[in-house]
């Protein structure tokens, strides 16, 4: 007996859709464990050199244009720490914003004129939904 085409679609289409949703959810949950630091240069001028130290990892950026941003994806090793940003010329240093190398932390930092810094740390939506809400200063 030959199966009708509409019976095949009624069986295979939902199975394929469920598998696709399951696969996309697994990828999203896995990627949500990666912590990130995002720096925005809102100073109105080019920053010639910037050093970022976070979770026993260091990053050096040669030049950051005005109104530009930098995105750092942390490697999954190192100890939890504050974020430290340094500029050698003219000398300037800022430290703050607790972050862990994994766990879905998202730290958004706005470098503003006159050396002011605005920092906001959040968790990944997936991490909060799957593992529950937690304070940003654990």
pLDDT in tens, the chain (138 residues): 566 766 677 778 888 899 999 999 888 877 778 889 999 999 888 888 999 999 999 999 998 898 999 999 999 888 899 999 998 888 889 998 889 888 888 899 999 988 889 999 888 776 677 666 555 544
The number of domains in the chain is 2
Same domain, 121 and 57: yes
In this structure, the answer to whether residues 36 and 84 fall within a common structural domain is yes
The residue range of the domain holding 52 is: 32-131
Q: Where are the beta strands (DSSP E) in 27-134?
A: 36-41, 50-54, 57-61, 69-73, 81-87, 92-99, 105-111, 117-123
Residues 71 and 25 in one domain: no
Check whether residue 44 and residue 56 sit in a common domain.
Answer: yes
Q: Are 52 and 119 in a shared domain?
A: yes
Are residues 80 and 59 both part of a single domain?
yes
């Amino acid at each position: 007996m030959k199966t009708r085409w509409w019976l095949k679609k009624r069986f295979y289409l939902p199975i394929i859709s469920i598998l696709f949703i399951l696969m996309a959810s697994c990828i999203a949950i896995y990627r949500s464990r990666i912590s990130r630091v995002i720096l925005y240069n809102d100073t109105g001028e080019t920053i010639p050199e910037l050093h970022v130290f976070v979770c026993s990892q260091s990053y050096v950026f040669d030049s950051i244009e005005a109104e530009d941003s930098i995105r750092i994806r942390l490697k999954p090793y190192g100890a939890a720490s504050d974020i430290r940003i340094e500029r050698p010329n003219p000398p300037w240093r800022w430290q703050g914003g607790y972050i862990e190398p994994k766990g879905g932390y998202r730290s958004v930092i706005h470098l503003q004129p006159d050396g002011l810094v605005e920092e906001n740390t959040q968790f990944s939506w997936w991490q909060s939904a799957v593992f529950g809400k937690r304070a940003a200063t654990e």
